[in-house]
Structure 1
Amino acid sequence: MCSLLLVYISVYFCILLFIEFLLPFPSQNRRHNQQINQKSSNFFFVFQISFMPKKMKSRYILLTLSIVIAIIAILASQTLFSTPPRVFIHNPFDILYGIKAISYSAITSVCSHHHHHHHRRKPSHSKKKISICGDFPKNIPPPDTDTTSYLCVDKNGCCNFTTVQSAVDAIGNFSERRNVIWINSGMYYEKVAIPKTKPNITLQGQGFETTSIAWNDTAYSANGTFYCASVQVFGSQFLAKNISFMNVAPIPKPGDVGAQAVAIRI
Structure 2
Amino acid sequence: MAAFIFFITLFTLMASSPRANATQTSTTALFIRVDQSGKGDHEKIQDAIDAVPSDNKEVVFILVEPGIYNEKIVVPADKPFITLSGSKPNGTVITGSDSGNIFESATFTVLSSNFVGRYLTIQVYITSP
Q: TM-score, normalised by structure 1?
A: 0.37
> Which of structures 1 and 2 has the bigger CA Rg?
1
Residues 98-109 of structure 1 correspond to what in structure 2 (within 5 A)? none
Aligned to 2:10: none
Which structure carries more strand by proportion? 2
Distance 2:58 2:52 in 1: 10
Mapped pair 1:236 → 2:75: no
Map Cα deviations across residues 170-210 of structure 1 (whole Å, 9 max, x no partner).
Answer: 00011111111110000101111111111111111022311
Aligned to 2:103: 226
The alignment partner of 1:167 has SS state of helix
Mapped pair 1:185 → 2:66: yes
Q: Which amino acid aligns with 2:124?
A: N
Distance 2:44 2:89 in 1: 17
Map Cα deviations across residues 83-123 of structure 1 (whole Å, 9 max, x no partner).
Answer: xxxxxxxxxxxxxxxxxxxxxxxxxxxxxxxxxxxxxxxxx
Q: Which amino acid aligns with 2:81?
A: N
Distance 2:50 2:42 in 1: 11
Which structure carries more helix by proportion? 1
Aligned to 2:51: 170
- Residue number among 89, 93, 114 corresponding to 1:212 in the alignment: 93
Aligned to 1:158: 39
Q: TM-score, normalised by structure 2?
A: 0.73
Give me the CA root mean square deviation. Answer: 1.7
Distance 1:232 1:226 in 2: 11
Return 5+ residue gaps in structure 2 as ranges.
1-25
Map Cα deviations across residues 53-84 of structure 1 (whole Å, 9 max, x no partner).
Answer: xxxxxxxxxxxxxxxxxxxxxxxxxxxxxxxx
The alignment partner of 2:93 has SS state of strand
Work out the number of aligned pairs and report it: 104
Q: Which amino acid aligns with 1:157?
A: G
Whether the 8 Å contact between 2:86 and 2:92 is mirrored in structure 1 is yes
Map Cα deviations across residues 228-251 of structure 1 (whole Å, 9 max, x no partner).
Answer: 11001101111011111111335x
Q: Which amino acid aligns with 1:151?
A: I
Distance 1:213 1:239 in 2: 15
| Structure 1 residue ranges (4+ consecutive) displaced by more than 2 angstroms after TM superposition | 224-227
Aligned to 1:246: 123
Q: Which amino acid aligns with 1:171?
A: V
